Structure 1
Amino acid sequence: MEPHHSEHEKHQHSTSSENTHHAHMHHHKKADEHSEMNHDHGNHQHGEHNHAGHEGGGHDHHEHHAHMIEDFKKRFWISMLITLPIVVMAPMIQELLNFEFRFNGDRYVQFALSTIVFFYGGWPFLKGLKDEIKDKAPGMMTLIALAISVAYFYSSAVVFGLEGKIFFWELVSLIDIMLLGHWIEMKSVMGASNALQELAKLMPSEAHLVKDNGETEDVNIKDLEEGDVILVKPGEKIPADGEVKEGKSHVNESMLTGESKPVAKKEGDELIGGSVNDKGSLKVTVRHTGEDSYLNKVVKMVSEAQEANSKTQNFANKAAVWLFYVALGSGIITLIVWSAIGKEFEYSLERMVTVMIISCPHALGLAIPLVVAISTAVSAKKGLLIRNRTAFENSRKISTIIFDKTGTLTKGEFGVTRFESVSEDYSKEEILKIAAALEANSEHPIATGILKKVEELELKFEESKDFENITGKGVEGKLNDKKVNIVSPGYLKEQNIDLPEGAFQDEVETVVFLLVNDELKGYIALADEIREDAFEAVKTLKEQNIKVLMATGDNEKTAKAVSDKLQLDGYYAEVLPEDKQQIIKDLQSKKEVVAMTGDGVNDAPALAQANIGIAVGSGTDVAAATADIVLVNSNPKDIAALILFGSATYKKMVQNLFWSAGYNIIAIPLAAGVLAPIGIILSPAVGAVLMSLSTVIVAVNAQLLKKQMKV
Structure 2
Amino acid sequence: MENQVLSIRGMTCAACAQRIEKTVRKLSGISQANVNLASEKLFVEYDSEVLKLSAIKESVAKIGYQVVEKSDNQKVTIPIGGMTCAACAQRIEKVIKKLDGVEDVSVNFATEKATVTYQPQQVRLSTMKEAIEKIGYKVQEINKADAADEDRVRKQKEITTLWTKFIVSAVFSLPLLYIAMAPMIKIIRFPFPSGLDPMNYPLIYALAELLLVIPVICVGYKFYTVGFKALWNRSPNMDSLIAIGTTAAVMYSLYNTIQIAEGNFLAVESLYYETAGVIITLILLGKSLEAVSKGRTSEAIKKLMGLAPKTAIILQGDVEKEIPIDEVEIGDIIVVKPGAKIPVDGMVTDGHTAIDESMLTGESMPVDKKAGDSVYAASLNTTGTLQFKAEKIGSDTALAQIIKLVEDAQGSKAPIAQMADIVSGYFVPVVCLIALFAGIAWYFGTGGDIKFALTIFISVLVIACPCALGLATPTAIMVGTGKGAENGILIKGGEALETAHKIDTIVFDKTGTITEGKPTVTDVLTAKEGDADDLLLLTASAEKSSEHPLGQAIVAGAQAKGLELYKVDNFNSITGRGIEAMINGKMILAGNRKLMEERSISLLELEAASDRLASEGKTPMYVVVDKNLAGIVAVADVVKASSKAAIESIHKLGIEVAMITGDNQKTAAAIARQVGIDKVLAEVLPQDKSNEVKKLQGTGRKVAMVGDGINDAPALAQADIGIAIGSGTDVAMESADIVLMRSDLMDVPTAIDLSKRTIRNIKQNLFWAFGYNVIGIPIAAGILHLLFNGPLLNPIFAAAAMSLSSVSVLTNALRLKRFKATRQEGTGASS
CA positional deviation for 1:419: 5.9
Residue of structure 2 aligned with 1:620, choices 729, 742, 752: 729
> Match for residue 654 of structure 1?
763
- Amino acid paired to 1:324: F
Q: Output the CA distance in 2 between the equivalents of 1:509 and 1:527.
A: 6
Alignment of 1:3-14 (within 5 A): none
From 50, 53, 57, the counterpart of 2:117: 57
1:607·1:626 contact (CA, 8 Å) conserved in 2?
yes
Q: Deviations over 1:63-110 (max 9, x none)?
A: 99978989986775454344344323436974289999x998775655
How many matched pairs?
A: 532
TM-score normalised by length of structure 1? 0.55
Letter in 2 for 1:335: G
CA offset digits 1:595-632 (Å, max 9, x no partner): 33344456556545543332222223344344332222
Contact 1:162/1:346 (8 A) holds in 2: no
Partner Cα distance (1:366, 1:502) in 2? 64
The answer as to 2:480 corresponding to 1:375 is yes
Q: Give 1:401 deviation, angstroms.
A: 3.3
Alpha-carbon distance between aligned partners in 1 of 2:729 and 2:621, rounded to the nearest angstrom: 30
**Structure 2 residue 46 is the aligned partner of structure 1 residue 40:** no
Residue 312 of structure 2 is aligned to residue 312 of structure 1: no
What are the equivalent positions in structure 2 for 1:38-117 lying under 5 Å apart?
38-41=35-38, 49-51=106-108, 54=114, 56-57=116-117, 76-77=155-156, 79-90=158-169, 94-95=173-174, 110-111=216-217, 113-116=219-222
Q: Secondary structure in 1 aligned to 2:521?
A: strand
Deviations 1:661-685 (A, max 9, x none): 5555664455334555867443344
Quickly say closer, same or farther: Cα 1:450–1:572, change in 2 above 3 A: closer
Cα separation, partners in 2 of 1:422 and 1:395, compared to 1, 3 Å:
same
Q: 1:675 to 1:400 in 2, by over 3 A?
A: same
Could you tell me whether the CA contact under 8 Å between 1:550 and 1:563 is conserved in 2? no
Looking at structure 1, the residues matched to 561 and 704 of structure 2 have their Cα atoms a distance apart, in angstroms, of: 47
Residue 729 of structure 2 aligns with an amino acid whose one-letter code is: T
The one-letter code of the counterpart of 1:449 is A
Find out whether 1:335 has 2:439 as its counterpart: yes
What is the CA distance between 1:363 and its match in structure 2?
Answer: 5.5
**Which residue of structure 2 lines up, in the alignment, with residue 573 of structure 1?**
684
Q: CA contact under 8 A between 2:106 and 2:114: conserved in structure 1?
A: yes
> What residue identity is the alignment partner of 2:243?
Y
1:642 aligns with 2:746: no
Q: Does the Cα contact within 8 Å between 2:32 and 2:687 map onto a contact in 1?
A: no
1:387–1:466 CA distance, 2 compared to 1 (3 A):
closer
Choose the corresponding residue for 1:146, options 212, 237, 241.
Answer: 237
Q: Shift of the alpha carbon at 1:655? A: 3.4
Q: Please, which of 729, 733, 739 is the counterpart of residue 630 of structure 1?
A: 739
Deviation at 1:151, TM superposition (A): 0.8
TM-superposed CA distance for 1:409, in Å, is: 3.7
TM-score by length of 2: 0.49
* Cα shift at 1:506: 1.7
The letter of the residue matching 1:83 is: L
Distance 2:658 2:604 in 1: 40
1:70–1:393 distance in 2 versus 1, CA, 3 Å: farther
AA of the residue aligned to 2:781: A
Q: For the structure 1 residues 328 and 593, does the alpha-carbon distance in structure 2 shift closer, same or farther, using more than 3 Å as the test? A: farther
Q: Which residue identity does 1:650 align to in structure 2?
A: I
Q: Distance in 2 between matches of 1:174 and 1:679?
A: 28
Please report how far the alpha carbon of residue 412 of structure 1 lies from its aligned counterpart in structure 2 after TM superposition.
3.7
2:619 to 492, 497, 509: 509
Q: Secondary structure at the residue paired with 2:519?
A: strand
Q: Which runs of 5+ in 2 are unaligned?
A: 1-25, 43-74, 78-104, 126-139, 180-207, 255-271, 305-408, 572-579, 824-831
Partner of 1:270: none
Counterparts in 2 of 1:174-573, with a 5 A limit?
312-314=415-417, 317=420, 321=424, 324=427, 327=431, 331-332=435-436, 334-339=438-443, 340-345=445-450, 347-360=452-465, 367-418=472-523, 448-449=552-553, 468-469=567-568, 502=609, 505-506=613-614, 509-511=619-621, 524-528=633-637, 531=640, 533-538=642-647, 540-541=649-650, 544-549=653-658, 554=662, 566-568=677-679, 570=681, 573=684
Aligned-pair distance for 1:388?
Answer: 1.7
Give the direction of change, closer, same or farther, for the CA distance of 1:503–1:669 in structure 2 (3 Å limit).
closer
- Equivalent position amino acid for 2:280 in 1: F
**Equivalent residue for 1:200?**
none
Higher relative contact order (CA 8 A, sep 6+): 1
Q: Secondary structure at 1:314's aligned position in 2?
A: helix
Where 1:342 maps in the other structure, the secondary structure is: coil
CA contact (8 A) 1:403 1:598 kept: yes
> Partners of 1:619 and 1:59 in 2: how far apart?
32
Q: Output one character per residue of 1:625-648: Cα deviation in whole Å (capped at 9) or x when no partner.
A: 443322222344432332233223
1:686 pairs with 764, 789, 797, which one? 797
- CA separation of 1:543 and 1:154: change in aligned 2, threshold 3 A: closer
Indicate how the Cα distance of structure 1 residues 313 and 488 shifts in structure 2: closer, same or farther if over 3 A, else same. closer
Quote the Cα distance in structure 2 between the aligned partners of 1:704 and 1:38: 37
Contact conserved, 1:467 with 1:475, CA < 8 A, in 2? Answer: no
> How has the CA–CA distance of structure 1 residues 488 and 51 changed in structure 2, closer, same or farther, with 3 Å as cutoff?
closer
**CA–CA distance in 2 between the matches of 1:443 and 1:691?**
70
Aligned partner of residue 633 in structure 1, secondary structure: coil
Q: Alignment partner of 2:506: what SS?
A: strand
Q: Distance between the aligned counterparts of 1:572 and 1:545, measured in 2?
A: 27
Tell me how far apart the structure 2 counterparts of residues 570 and 64 of structure 1 sit (CA, whole Å).
52
Against the structure 1 CA distance between its residues 708 and 655, is the aligned structure 2 distance closer, same or farther, given a 3 Å change threshold?
farther
Aligned to 1:168: 280
Letter of the structure 1 residue corresponding to residue 159 of structure 2 = M
User: 2:614–2:670: 8 Å Cα contact kept in structure 1?
Assistant: no
Cα deviations across residues 229-258 of structure 1 (Å, max 9, x unaligned)? xxxxxxxxxxxxxxxxxxxxxxxxxxxxxx
Tell me, in whole angstroms, the C-alpha distance in 1 between the residues paired with 2:711 and 2:171. 63
Q: How large is the RMSD of aligned CA atoms in angstroms?
A: 6.2
CA, structure 1 residues 173+643, in 2 after alignment: closer, same or farther (shift >3 Å)? same
Q: Relative to 1, partners in 2 of residues 1:673 and 1:648: Cα closer, same or farther, differing over 3 Å?
A: same
SS where residue 619 of structure 1 aligns?
A: coil
Secondary structure of the structure 1 residue equivalent to 2:679: coil
Quick one: distance in 1 between partners of 2:220 and 2:718? 47
Indicate the larger mover: 79-88 or 179-188: 179-188
Using the TM superposition, give the Cα deviation of residue 570 of structure 1 relative to its aligned residue in structure 2, in angstroms. Answer: 4.8
In 2, Cα distance between the equivalents of 1:81 and 1:633? 40
- Measured after TM superposition, the shift of residue 319 of structure 1 is 9.6
**Cα offsets for 1:353-400 (capped at 9, x unmatched):** 332332217655655455434433433333322222343233232233
Distance 1:474 1:58, change over 3 A: same
